[in-house]
Amino acid sequence: MLRYDSTSSSAGSSSGSLSSSSSSSKPPQQDIDGLLAGAGYKVRSSELRQVAQRLERLETAMGNSPADFSQLASDAILYNPSDLACWVDSLLTEFAEPPPTCSSDFIVDPVNNQTVVNSAWTAAEPHTPQVHQNITYDEQQSLDNQLTVVTAMEEDSGIRLVHMLMTCAECVQSGDLSLATSLIDDMQGLLTHVNTICGIGKVAGHFIDALSRRIFQGMGGGSVNGGSAFENEILYHHFYEACPYLKFAHFTANQAILEAFDGHDCVHVVDFNLMHGLQWPALIQALALRPGGPPLLRLTGIGPPPPDGRDSLREIGLRLAELARSVNVRFAFRGVAASRLEDVKPWMLQVNPKEAVAVNSIMQLHRLLGCEQTRNSPIDTVLSWIRGLNPKIMTVVEQEANHNQPGFLDRFTEALYYYSTMFDSLEACRIQPEKALAEIYIQREIGNVVSCEGSARVERHEPLAKWRRRLSGAGFRALRLGSNAFKQASMLLTLFSAEGYSVEENEGCLSLGWHSSPLIAASAWQAVPAWDNHMSSS
Amino acid sequence: MVQNHRREDHETGGENKEKRPKFFINDHVDILIEILERLDGRSLCIAASVCRLWCTIARNDSLWENLCFRHVSPPPSSVRSVVLALGGYKRLYTGCVRPVRSRLGRVRRASWARDEVQLSLSLFCVDYYERLGGSNSNGRLVEKSSPSSLMFLCKPVNV
């Protein structure tokens, strides 16, 4: 196994060698890049930058003069093609390509041309390079050129990190834990070359932690959400403040619920995860101002049982009641303490048959997707009793990601892409400490997705298409979220200082994303009335 | 203004004092209110530091109510009681409506004016709710006493 060495030739790196902690012997040609060696090419790591440049030039030359190229392809004999640097040079001399006037373009572009690196990782580009080096060039290049090389070297390290992460995940999947462990060491060394304040370095750091936790604790290793419910609430609150995902979820769900409650005088909302109840003030205010006057509002909030005997559910209920009293809305609150959603039984909710019921689930349904897909899995049980309540509307907001695949590598790849995008979107937030705590919240999710298995893994995100199939199969039909919800979501996003957020409408469902990668999707559902006939026949 | 008043006095002389009415805006509070009603938020705040009378008038919530609903058709009367319960129009304007309007100013369409106010109201309500939590004797519910749900509006737009 060839190891990556921190090269000190053209870039003049000042940080230490990576292989200080290695136990295996150094291979004789330690300068050869390991990944390309695996593909059959011998390129010195120190020359990677120049070879890439020249390949670019060769590509443009081939494009510019296809006639020469065809002659080259048929008549030329190339010796030692595995020595990629010489091969490219000899081809270039054939084309007699004049040296380009500005070579800095070639340096920055390869990042965008890489198929592995998606647009989410170009966030690594704008930040100022953290590695300060004395760069000695033979030619007097401009300072810009030098800086782009340094930035490119960092991007290079970032790309390497991603490659190594994928390789490590593959090793974990195939069970080669010793190789995985050595890769973890390498990656942690590589992290010193990369800016871990933002960009790919930060996300990679979290994934490296999660991978090492998975390797060293064995399967089913510890609950990553080991924090108390109180901690989780605080982190959730800061995640709410720092980025618009939860605000979008709340406002969109409230708009749908408001429209569904139109004309009803007794309404009952069941919230699957009350937390601090931040969703409900806006609904209470909207109900207070609706034409025709406010209805009687009952709210049933489900939450984890308090560890220290403090009745947090009741406190939130009291706060909401005080708000409702201030705006003259008749309000009643009921708290249901349950550590898991599948433990809740419908009789606990005390639904009155005459009232209009709305069920609100913000990122809760995916927790019910256990690993076994049996007939009476928790998700089926819960969905069937929701149907039994005959709700006017069920609002479902879920992460738009595929983190519930059985294969670990697929899951890991998806999670890497998803959370990189999410961290990118968080970069725009300047409010501290909200941003730092929001990152810890996301970090816990990453840890759960990557390092937990079995019943400990609760973050089993599934994309909207899968939820559509699942809910339609359980006797629900989709309600379209109207244009009001879309308008409100667009306005809400414009308020956030980052310009990368986008709302998309997808067959009646709204999704919020960063630079057209959807990250969270909101949908509304209603129980199909004549479903029981279908059920008895299946 | 006081200077002009005195100068007029000198110039016009004794017998003209009765014929030429002297106009001092503070004597005509209704006109003053009409004028202040048409100011924008920043000017209204500046006006509040002119003198005590102006300060008292500028603190009047109905002026800020005008500001909030200036470009919108008058809302139903129920809105007033709600807004007053949640902290008043001045707070609504300075905390929510103004930042929302300035942020949306670039992309605003004419039809958004009413929705802007509604969105501002919702955000205002969340803010009130968080303030409730801070004043709660059991301070463990929210970490800091100052509500933070509107902080994303307070930061300058990072374009």
The answer to whether position B99 is within a domain reads yes
Query: What is the end-to-end Cα distance of chain B in Å, rounded?
Result: 44
For chain A, what are the domain ranges?
229-527
- Interchain pair B129, A320: CB under 8 A: yes
Q: Is the pLDDT of residue A82 over 80?
A: no
What backbone torsions phi and psi does residue A33 show, to the nearest 5 degrees? Answer: -65, 130
The answer to whether position B85 is within a domain reads yes
Facing B121 at nearest CB: one of A285, A328, A491: A285
The Cα B40–Cα A519 span in angstroms is 39
Question: pLDDT tier at B138 (50, 70, 90 boundaries)?
Answer: very low
The Cα A305–Cα A228 span in angstroms is 11
Residue A108's alpha-carbon distances to A141, A149, A493, in angstroms, are 15, 8, 31
The answer to whether position B11 is within a domain reads no
> What is the reported pLDDT for A374?
64
Q: Is the pLDDT of residue B159 over 90?
A: no
Q: Is the pLDDT of residue B157 over 80?
A: no
The answer to whether position B146 is within a domain reads no
Beta strand pairing call for A331-337 and A517-527: unpaired
The string of pLDDT tens digits covering residues A203-239 is 899 999 999 888 887 544 444 455 677 888 889 998 9
A320 close contact with B: CB closer than 8 A = yes
Boundaries of domain holding B55:
25-59
> What is the reported pLDDT for A126?
40
The Cα A427–Cα A435 span in angstroms is 8
> What is the reported pLDDT for B13?
47
Nearest CA in chain B to A427: B158
Q: Are residues B50 and B92 in the same domain?
A: no
Question: pLDDT tier at A118 (50, 70, 90 boundaries)?
Answer: very low
Between A439 and A85, residue with greater pLDDT: A439
Q: Are residues B128 and B94 in the same domain?
A: yes
A276 close contact with B: CB closer than 8 A = yes
The H-or-E segment that residue B151 falls in is helix B151-154
Please answer whether residues A334 and A350 qualify as being in contact, where contact means their C-beta atoms are separated by less than 8 angstroms: yes
Q: Are residues B79 and B33 in the same domain?
A: no
Query: What residues in A contact B140, CB-CB < 8 Å?
Result: 230, 310
The string of pLDDT tens digits covering residues A99-108 is 444 333 333 3
The string of pLDDT tens digits covering residues A42-52 is 777 777 777 78
For residue B10, the distance in angstroms to the closest alpha carbon of chain A comes to 57
Find the range with the poorest average confidence among A119-128, A204-213, A442-451, B12-21: A119-128
> What is the reported pLDDT for B154?
63
For residue B16, the distance in angstroms to the closest alpha carbon of chain A comes to 58
The string of pLDDT tens digits covering residues A385-426 is 999 999 999 999 999 999 998 889 999 999 999 999 999 888
Burial of A29 (0-12, 13-18, 19+ CB in 10 A): exposed
Q: What is the mean pLDDT of residues B23-41?
A: 87
Per-residue burial over A61-95, b if 16 or more Cβ lie within 10 Å, else e, is bbeeeeeebeeeeeeeeeeeeebbbebbeebbeeb
Q: Are residues B40 and B79 in the same domain?
A: no
Q: Is the pLDDT of residue A359 over 90?
A: yes
Q: What is the mean pLDDT of residues B31-60?
A: 88
The answer to whether position B5 is within a domain reads no
Q: Are residues B36 and B78 in the same domain?
A: no
Q: Mutating which of B141, B142, B151, B158 best tests the A interface, going by the most A Cβ atoms within 10 A?
A: B141
Average pLDDT, chain A: 78
Q: Compute the count of residue pairs across chains A and B with CB atoms less than 8 Å apart.
A: 110
- Interchain pair B136, A319: CB under 8 A: yes
- Interchain pair B142, A428: CB under 8 A: no
> What is the reported pLDDT for A109?
37
Domain count, chain B: 2
- Interchain pair B103, A495: CB under 8 A: yes
Q: What is the mean pLDDT of residues B33-48?
A: 87
Q: Is the pLDDT of residue A253 over 90?
A: yes
The H-or-E segment that residue B68 falls in is helix B61-68
**CATH class of domain segment(s) A229-527:** alpha beta
Q: What is the mean pLDDT of residues A13-18?
A: 36
Cβ partners under 8 Å of residue A46, min gap 6 = A7, A9, A10, A31
Q: Is the pLDDT of residue A258 over 70?
A: yes
Matching residue, tokens 């996300």: A203
Q: What is the mean pLDDT of residues B31-46?
A: 87
Query: What residues in A contact B143, CB-CB < 8 Å?
Result: 234, 237
The string of pLDDT tens digits covering residues B90-136 is 888 888 888 888 877 766 666 667 788 888 899 999 989 988 875 44
What backbone torsions phi and psi does residue A359 show, to the nearest 5 degrees? Answer: -105, 130
The answer to whether position B84 is within a domain reads yes
Average pLDDT, chain B: 74
Q: What is the mean pLDDT of residues A87-109?
A: 54
Question: pLDDT tier at A531 (50, 70, 90 boundaries)?
Answer: low
> What is the reported pLDDT for A281?
94
Q: Are residues B81 and B121 in the same domain?
A: yes
Question: pLDDT tier at A78 (50, 70, 90 boundaries)?
Answer: low
Measure CA B64 to chain center.
3
> What is the reported pLDDT for B95?
85
Cβ partners under 8 Å of residue A324, min gap 6 = A284, A297, A330, A331
The answer, as to whether pTM is greater than 0.90, is no
The Cα B18–Cα A85 span in angstroms is 103
Facing B141 at nearest CB: one of A281, A315, A497: A315
The Cα A39–Cα A48 span in angstroms is 15
Three-class secondary structure of residue B4 per DSSP: helix
Burial of A1 (0-12, 13-18, 19+ CB in 10 A): exposed
> What is the reported pLDDT for A200?
80
| Structure tokens given for A202 | 């930060």
Beta strand pairing call for A476-479 and A501-506: unpaired
The answer to whether position B65 is within a domain reads no
> What is the reported pLDDT for A403?
92
| Structure tokens given for B102 | 């300035």
The Cα A88–Cα A66 span in angstroms is 17
The answer to whether position B118 is within a domain reads yes
Over its C-alpha atoms, chain B yields an Rg (Å, rounded) of 21
Question: pLDDT tier at A500 (50, 70, 90 boundaries)?
Answer: confident
Burial of A145 (0-12, 13-18, 19+ CB in 10 A): middle
